[in-house]
Structure 1
Amino acid sequence: MILSLYVKNFVLIDELTLDFQNGFSAFSGETGAGKSLFIDAISILCGAKVSPSFIQKGAQKAVLEMCVEVHKKHPSLQKLAEAEIEVEDHSFIISKTFTQEGKSTTKVNSRNVTAAFLRDLMSDVIDIHSQHDSQYLLNPKSHLGLLDNFVQDDDLTSSVRTAYKDYKQKQQELDTLLEKEFNQEDLDFFMFQLDEINALDASENEIEELENYQKDMMAFERVSKALNEAMQAIDTSSYENIYEATKALDELEQEALVKIKEEMLNAYYLIDEQKDALHAYANSLEYDEEKLNQVQERLFQIQKIVRKHGHTFKDVLLKKEELVSKIELFSDRDAAIALKQQEIEQLYKEFYKHASKLSEKRKQRAKELEKEIQVQLEDLYLPNAKFEITFTNQDSVHGIDGVEFYISMNKGESLRPLTKVISGGELSRLMLGLKVIFTKLQHIETIIFDEIDTGVSGKVAYAIGQKMKELAKVTQVFSITHLAPVAAHADAHYLVRKEEVNDHTSTSIVSLSYDERIRELAMISTNSLSDKALDAAKELLDSCEESHG
């Protein structure tokens, strides 16, 4: 959720700080007051493009900042961790500064990030929905994922994904096998490379031992000098006097002195033991130039083969496996092809077993989802709308199903893909109903509706307000609205207003009190502050608050 928003020198906004709570917040104001600026600022902080035209006239730069909080398992936190951006209490701060010269900086928790990273980071955090938007719900590629979120069987979908990848990997191996036919020259070259690796007869343990020995010998002079200095210091010291001091305390029985004596004795014996250990280590050191030369020559030969086949010794081992496989293939290509085909058949059976189980579960849950969406549509006064989830056969990493949402908005009308629904008002209500269900499955923390209630009124407007209030139980909701029945359902109401002072025009956004809300609702409804209009506005606000407890 958005905890706070700071805007400075942004178009008509001089400087603005807003703090938000969870729940449903409505934003209203006269046409041209600058409500779209609020959306623009948040969009830019989600990675939208920016230009100097957004900078207030007379200013050199604009500054935008937003503090966002997500739940502890939100995918954005994993993205931040992978980028090594530290986060405290599941919240982070996004800032954007841009100048008249076209320069801009984007930061997350004071770390510079790219616009592409920011867009990816915020894709699951904030969803901005206008009347004609075409985001994830209108994208057929998202429909299968949405259904799987509703199915909620991660283990089964993971099993399908793994089985499909194993099957495709083996299929690619067969395709490569069928495309290649080796000649005698190829075989001779493969044998030469394999003999070269086998002749090396190296192992990772041997390499580690050789490198450690070389490291010790290269540091011999420095280590030897330090050891001699340390031994001279301790040999010429008078630490033996510590022992004599303890003897002087032998006859004393005070508890504190007995403890001091014991600690002094421990210190003496420890120093004496470490002195012997230091001498023993120094005596064990031996600089063998001949052996060092042999070690370096052996490492050179190993590194020569490593560079030839990759970057690490593991690459050499992988190359060896590849060469053995190619040589075996040359010896009996037909048998190798037959074996691959058998393996592919078995792997596909395994994939199809898991995918069929998932498909059956999807189709069962799809019926439940259709019923839930139908309820939402009826609540939003779309009684003739019919929603259906269609399935097609399509093998992929996601299983054997292709999924797309279909809808008809009127009686007798054929079902069509969701993307073909073009009526603005009906589409807005349809999308609102869908988002009540899917937002909680998509990890969305804040959803912003930008005047999606345009073209509706009366009971439909009231129903839209109710639905937004319902959605606010699972996510933070912002709504830019011109309708009193929508704004009256909100937990908080903000007024966007434009002021002109001394030839300077500025936009401000203020939170309204209870009495101020009544006045604003009256103006929205009737453009009047008569007693009748105020009484009607109060009755609307009170009834909405009572209906939500």
Structure 2
Amino acid sequence: MLRELRIRNLAVIEEIAVPLAPGFNVLTGETGAGKSILVDALLLIIGARAQPELIRSGEESAVVEALFEVETSGPVAALLDEAGHRLADGQLVVKRELSRSGRHRVFVNDSAATVGLLERLGDLLVELHGQHEHQRLVEPARQLELLDRFAECLTQREQVGALVRRWEEARASLARLREELAESARQEDLYRFQLAEIDAVRLREGEEEELRADRSRLQHAERILRGLQEVMALLHEDDHSAAARLSRAVALLQSVSRLDAMALAPVEGLEAALVHVEDVVTGVRALRDRAVADPDRLAELESRLDAIAKLKRKYGETEAAILGYREDIAAALARIGSQDLLLAERERDVQAL
């Protein structure tokens, strides 16, 4: 049932809202008052052709909006559900926007819609009677509706309509699945190649940073070795090294202690410092021993980094991104392997309907 009609900038009407009560409503007025414009507005609501000439002079756009109350389980609700529109609280708002640029728009409950949907809704929502109304009796859809009403089988018609919609949805779903299956078959070889390429590198997260550190160490092996050798000389290997000086200081204090027992007090601290220096020397010696130029190992690192860089250019900017993509294509291949079973299941669903 039509409850309200709102118009803005249509023909001679600047803006108006026409509330309608249940039952019989009568609109009267003098010639030129705008009664026909209300009919034109209603025709726009049910899908009539939108013409820029209908827009009020001096304006760039016009808006027509209608509020309907409909049953939440009736044919209108079923049509809206089929078209992907939601019916809230039994209220349906249809809106047409006309523009002089020709870019007209249609909305159903604030969602974009098509004029074709308005035409289908109009057949269910509005009946316009005029001097040629009897001509609608030759329309097959009208004849079928009258026959269904006469046979008192409107409920069965809705049931059959629901089954047909389910069947059409199942067929559409089956068609989409077949398209996806065909596309997946085209992608399968590519996915398998990509998966093999990534797996061949045996990439692990955080590896590139470690490789770069090792490469830097090998590239600067001589400089590192010189620095470590100098450190070893300062701490241990030179006659005037820290270890030698600490040992000499301990020996002198022990000698002096024979004359003054208080001289032994600093010895314990010096011996602890000497132990600490020796621990450091052990660590530095290990670093010096591995600071050796190794061209073969350096070439191996360069090759490994090049392989990772190649994967990054193709599959992601980080190891995590590459490994994530690898999981995605592995999952896609698994789905491809199971699509035949899914296709057979969908075909059975269609046949069951």
Asked whether the two chains share a fold, i.e. TM above 0.5, the reply is no
Structure number with higher helix proportion: 2
TM-score of the pair, normalised by structure 1: 0.30
When normalised by structure 2's length, the TM-score is 0.45
Greater relative CO, 1 or 2 (CA 8 Å, sep 6+): 1
Larger radius of gyration: 2
* Structure with greater proportional strand content: 1
